[in-house]
Amino acid sequence: MAPVLVLVESAEGSPADVSLQALTLARSFAGGEPLEVLQIDPDPGAAENLGDYGVVSAHIADHEGIGSFGPDAWAATVIQLADGISAGAVFAAATDRGNDIMARVGARLGLPVAVNCIAISAGSPITLTRQRWGGSLLEEALLHSPRPLVTVALHTVVIERVAGSKQVEVLHSRADVNERDLRVRPAEHVAAPSGGVSLAEAKVVVSGGRGVGSKEGFAIIEELAGLLGAAVGCSRVVTSAGWRPHTDQVGQTGTKIAPDLYIACGISGATQHMAGCKGAKRILAINSDAEAPIMLNADYAVVGDLKEILPAISAEIRKAR
């Protein structure tokens, strides 16, 4: 079997957890064959620990025009590297970036792309399981392709290390991209107003929904989040009302999260929202409506007025400290 290529994204100079999840699924598919990665992050230090996840080589594409993201440029680079190492398959995490790049790879090669996969087995054809309808449906499918292109559903695969890991060989190569490939690329980066805690990576997330009542009502959400070192999230209706920026939205059309604890305040729990927080290990729901759908999905439920409950929780945390 040929090597398997995995596109790896980074978070603060280290491989992102969602990419480590993709590596784990790719390793099970490879069946002992080598894993090679293409790093979006140009920092060689981000590859130092990839040997713990079965990686033998980390490729870093050098081109001043690519930057952190240019979808066509990265698609061209993925194809060049896959051809260069005769990759039998290409994997990526099903992030916005990963799905965008892999869709363009598939379009250029005329190959199908299997997105949001949670399990996959080698064979002819490939057998796979993938999420549909925001994770509410699992689809068993067969993939007929000479080079499977796969994205791995976020927070659905348990990260596993390998025994006897080896040093990763870091290889720099000149990316052969043209001006057409560089027409779409970042003009500038604007930091999200999240107070320094990444919503996607946070261990605790405190979210508010329609029940918060107003933009000003999020003050008690922010207070509790600050005490817990948590990120602040929200539902789609909140962003639609202009109370919070879209970067704070948790859900199918927002950010998919997998914190140790998700505190949902005044959120009804629509299917689209639950698709974004289903990776949470524990859900605490605070809602005045005992029949709200989110109460059925919560590990802990508190029925009452969040404007009374949240300040009381914050006060108790301060006393304990």
Task: Give residue 67's pLDDT.
Answer: 63
Residue spans of beta strands (DSSP E) within the chain: 4-8, 10-11, 14-15, 35-39, 55-62, 89-93, 113-121, 126-132, 137-143, 149-152, 169-174, 204-208, 231-234, 261-265, 282-287, 300-303
SS3 201: coil
CA atoms of 288 and 265, how far apart (whole Å): 9
Task: Give residue 196's pLDDT.
Answer: 60
Give 103-157 pLDDT, tens digit per residue. Answer: 999 999 999 999 999 999 998 899 999 988 777 789 999 999 999 999 999 888 9
Burial of residue 230 (CB within 10 Å: 0-12, 13-18, 19+) is buried
SS3 298: coil
Written out in words, the top-level CATH class of the domain with range 204-320 is alpha beta
Query: Are domains 4-182 and 204-320 of this chain identical in fold?
Result: yes
Quick check: 41 pLDDT over 80?
Answer: no
Give 263-301 pLDDT, tens digit per residue. Answer: 999 999 998 899 899 889 999 999 999 999 999 999 999
Structure tokens at 241: 């009302």
Rg (CA), the chain: 21
Bond prior to 125 in cis (omega within 30° of 0): yes
Question: Which of 74-83, 96-105, 176-185 is the least confident region?
Answer: 176-185
**How distant, in Å, are the alpha carbons of 43, 48, 255, 299 from that of 76?**
20, 25, 27, 45
Sequence spans of domains, the chain: 4-182, 204-320
Asked if 152 and 91 count as a contact pair (C-beta separation under 8 A), the reply is: yes
Average pLDDT over residues 80-91: 94
Superfamily grouping for domain 4-182: HUPs (3.40.50.620)
Burial of residue 7 (CB within 10 Å: 0-12, 13-18, 19+) is buried
